[in-house]
Amino acid sequence: MEERNKLDNHEWYQPNAPVQSADEQLDIFEDAGLYRVKSREELYEKNKPKRSKGVMIAVLVIALLIGAIALTAILFSEDDSSGNSANDFYDAYKDYYEQYDSSEITGENDIPRADTAPDVELELHDTAGLTALTLQELYAKCQPSIVGISTYVDGEAYSWGSGVIMTADGYIITNTHVLDGADEVEVIGYDGKTYDALLVGADAISDIGVLKIEAKNLAAAQFVDSALVQVGDDAIAIGNPLGEQFSGTMTTGIISGISREMTYNNRTMSLLQTNAALNSGNSGGALFNIYGQVVGITNMKMMGSFTSVIEGVGFAIPSATVKEMADAILDDGAVVGRPGLGIMVYAMGGATEEYPDGMMVNSVYKGSDAEKQGLTAGDIIVEIDGMAAVDIEVIRGVLNEKNVGDTVNLKVWREGETIEIKVKLIDQNDF
């Protein structure tokens, strides 16, 4: 049964970029034994070519850039190897990057708050009557709608991410995890203009946060209903990977999958999948269709381990989810009232000789009614309110028709026996 478990959380991450100087990168390389200036000089001293000072500086800058990109690929990967320099590298970074542990989105920060705005809503459009844009036309149209998000703690640079302009008067959508732990946020426009930002709200479950800046006549992005998206559609990401020096980067690909159920932060997120390149700093940026409309907010990518390589598996929060969460945040400063079972599950993927098809319980949250009713890890939910629980969409569909405090009827397979359990739904913010 363990063989069928979900992907390990540490094999993928949410690509916000911790701020780190070139000197800090070199120090940690040296501490890990991966870059030793003395040994490098000794190795090449005999045949060292003569270079001008300017060329040497250029070479050093390129080397640092390559090193930074390599760090991005390794820092958020799981260490599956032993007895090699990769272990030393991982150990050298473990403590330094503990605060950026991607296994949890807390939604906790000390950013000054903005007033709520119940009269503001995110509008979703369709594609009727639109003409496909060239990539050059799309970039010219959409790039002004993307901003940089720079966060600070006690006046010190903390992390870097991206954001999407929602309204011309300064409401900005980004990822909650970009804002985690910060006490100050600065928004940088495509033209380099900077704004102090206030927080309307940040939801840890959906990973959607809303900021407010004092501005007028901004280039607001147009959002399309993600229900219209199909596998194979063009997908164009615009964001700020690796820091401000690469702000406004565009990468292209397709929609590789829809409704990808990714278990992360102890929650199941239904995401769009794309092969458009995403890197640290893209978090909170936009995934566009070929008409220049936002289909999703980029928030994570799959990474390999030291023993495997994964390329081109990125994810974005669908625009329909973004609208639901952003509107709730604008109304109340938070998202409340989402009913949940208080458990984490994953799909069995079909019946076998040993197990029925359904959703296996991976964990049960303490204090939930599910725990009180005896639901436990290893149980397989085969029905919910009379419907076959073959995937998470069935469970989500039932819960969407319920309120916090309502009950659902579960038919559960446990060690060869089928039992029935009634569970009272709780607010997802409570677990």
Catalytic residue, from 102, 159, 177, 256: name it.
177
Crossing angle of the two packed helices 22-31 and 53-75, in degrees rounded to 10: 70
Strands (DSSP E) found in 208-278: 208-212, 223-224, 234-239, 249-264, 267-274
Token pair recorded at residue 407: 């009950």
In terms of DSSP bridges, do strands 208-212 and 194-203 run parallel, antiparallel, or are they unpaired?
antiparallel
Query: How many whole angstroms separate alpha carbon 153 and alpha carbon 230?
Result: 41
Burial 409-427 (b: 16+ CB within 10 A, else e): ebbbbeeeeeeebebbbbb
Any catalytic annotation for residue 283?
yes
Cβ(129)–Cβ(123) below 8 Å: no
The per-residue DSSP string of 112-162 comes to PBPPP-TT--PPEE--TT--PPPHHHHHHHHGGGEEEEEEEETTEEEEEEE
Amino acid at residue number 317: I
Q: What 3-state DSSP class applies to 274?
A: strand
Query: How many whole angstroms separate alpha carbon 295 and alpha carbon 364?
Result: 33
Query: How many whole angstroms separate alpha carbon 260 and alpha carbon 115?
Result: 34
Amino acid at residue number 196: D
Residue carrying structure tokens 């690909």: 253
Catalytic residue, from 207, 234, 379, 391: name it.
207
Query: How many whole angstroms separate alpha carbon 101 and alpha carbon 79?
Result: 14
Query: How many whole angstroms separate alpha carbon 341 and alpha carbon 268?
Result: 12
Catalytic residue, from 102, 159, 280, 283: name it.
283
Token pair recorded at residue 418: 């089928």
Active site residues: 177, 207, 283
